[in-house]
Structure 1
């Protein structure tokens, strides 16, 4: 079930990227960098279908990246990139959503960025410069993937200036690139955000046993003293996902209606039961 969910999530990301390229970028000559930008250039200069350029470039990069990133990531990326090429060809038959280049750059960037972010969250990619970004991240692990792609894609955008010789198109491409880079980092950061729950209660042992028996999350128990009342109590600390908050609070209220609960946001939790998205 978990593998199926992961595959569907990666597929959703691939479909979003293909949609953005086919109905936003290519019809409006937006070069936002990467293989999508290169494909747009090849389409307008040599008449090569976007899907063909995507497939050819990704095959080449897959052969290079397999030595550094390993077969697991590359195989998933290669499969995703081939599926992406197919969806780009399919969506190329759709009419463009807008001929307003600014709207295409902004909304295309959002859809494109979220699509890449979803693929990354499942340890896959849409291929192309995503693989190059992963290669750079392998050597510079503390640098956000969105920033790495910004550098790589920026180079492609500047190159396109010599092809279209239209500074406005370049500026719109930069807008699309900035929006998609922000969308990638935003999604990955959002997926990593979790909650720390602090529960102060007179029924610490009962609540702790109940939480452990009815969920997969661990609980840490502290003995605390109220400064004002000087009353001895128990504080429970539990790391949970944001979507688990309502059920967690309901469990607490069932055992101790007078419990004092604090939810604090955590940017990232590393350890058993929590996956770090990069």
Structure 2
């Protein structure tokens, strides 16, 4: 049986993530009616229409969602979700008056700044597999009725609906566009927080001087190289292909090294999502 207990570090990260999220909502999004998807976006829209505090709307919707999704979640995920809901609701209440702090009148700047902070907060929460409720629970529940659609796709649809309604509620199409910009930035920043910035490139090198190039790579860059067996489509001649993975800062050096040995070499350079193993991040 898997351990259902939470580490203190996970709880601390979840708390920091929820606090940052509340700052982005109350200080940047709410003053301009920007609703970049998610249950927090719904809370902003409802608060704009009714005047009910965001924290109260958030917990009022989150609790029923959690109760419906409880059987789908594991004990550990359930505990993280409950803590996430409590931390976010409390943080939203604590930072409620932050909307009165004048930062900027520029809506675009608020949308970008709030999105960056929100993206960082979500990235922290995702790194510990945490949750604050909201559209991820909606996605899980909807997936039970529409199994042909993935949870991320359903979450994306829910976010898109919120963004559209932000323009309807505010009666300003620009607000919907600002909300869409915020949502895009949030997704990108949270992805970087979770996966890290791409720092590696893969070289596929086709050259008759592959042995000399491979030896130079080993001696000068101290990188390994793999020989792949290939065959020319038109010539039907066997070709040895070198596969090398290097860091971004070594890309230029490797190109120069190959050129110095064989100017007629054929090189394909590909960005790598992630490289694990010796010389890179540990698995």
**Which residue of structure 1 aligns with residue 205 of structure 2?**
none
**Which residue of structure 2 aligns with residue 114 of structure 1?**
120
Residues in 1 aligned to 2:9 and 2:75: alpha-carbon distance in whole angstroms = 21
**Which residue of structure 1 aligns with residue 107 of structure 2?**
101
1:29-108 mapped onto 2 (5 Å cutoff) = 29-94=33-98, 95-108=101-114
> Is this contact kept in 1: 2:118–2:186, CA < 8 A?
yes
Q: CA deviation at 1:44?
A: 1.6
Match for residue 274 of structure 2 among 240, 264, 267: 267
Is the alpha carbon distance of 1:131 and 1:4 closer, same or farther for their aligned partners in structure 2, counting shifts above 3 Å? same
> Is this contact kept in 1: 2:167–2:176, CA < 8 A?
yes
Is the alpha carbon distance of 1:179 and 1:129 closer, same or farther for their aligned partners in structure 2, counting shifts above 3 Å? same
**Which residue of structure 1 aligns with residue 24 of structure 2?**
20
Q: CA deviation at 1:269?
A: 5.0
- Given the alignment of the two structures, is residue 177 of structure 1 paired with residue 183 of structure 2, yes or no? yes
> Is this contact kept in 1: 2:43–2:58, CA < 8 A?
yes
User: Secondary structure at the residue paired with 2:72?
Assistant: helix
Q: CA deviation at 1:143?
A: 7.0
User: Secondary structure at the residue paired with 1:98?
Assistant: coil
Q: CA deviation at 1:153?
A: 0.8
1:221-232 mapped onto 2 (5 Å cutoff) = none
**Which residue of structure 2 aligns with residue 207 of structure 1?**
none
Q: How many positions carry a matched residue from both structures?
A: 212
Q: CA deviation at 1:156?
A: 1.2
CA RMSD of aligned residues (A): 3.6
> Is this contact kept in 2: 1:144–1:185, CA < 8 A?
no
> Is this contact kept in 2: 1:133–1:149, CA < 8 A?
yes
Q: CA deviation at 1:174?
A: 0.7
Is the alpha carbon distance of 1:167 and 1:16 closer, same or farther for their aligned partners in structure 2, counting shifts above 3 Å? same
Q: Which runs of 5+ in 1 are unaligned?
A: 196-226, 237-241, 243-263
Q: CA deviation at 1:23?
A: 0.3
Q: Which runs of 5+ in 2 are unaligned?
A: 1-5, 201-210, 216-222, 225-246, 248-270
Is the alpha carbon distance of 1:267 and 1:144 closer, same or farther for their aligned partners in structure 2, counting shifts above 3 Å? farther
Is the alpha carbon distance of 1:135 and 1:16 closer, same or farther for their aligned partners in structure 2, counting shifts above 3 Å? farther
Is the alpha carbon distance of 1:114 and 1:103 closer, same or farther for their aligned partners in structure 2, counting shifts above 3 Å? same
Q: CA deviation at 1:173?
A: 0.8
Using the size of structure 2 for normalisation, the TM-score is 0.63
Is the alpha carbon distance of 1:38 and 1:102 closer, same or farther for their aligned partners in structure 2, counting shifts above 3 Å? same
User: Secondary structure at the residue paired with 1:45?
Assistant: helix
Q: CA deviation at 1:98?
A: 2.1
Match for residue 161 of structure 2 among 155, 172, 176: 155
Of structures 1 and 2, the larger Rg is shown by 2
**Which residue of structure 2 aligns with residue 9 of structure 1?**
13
Residues in 2 aligned to 1:187 and 1:26: alpha-carbon distance in whole angstroms = 24
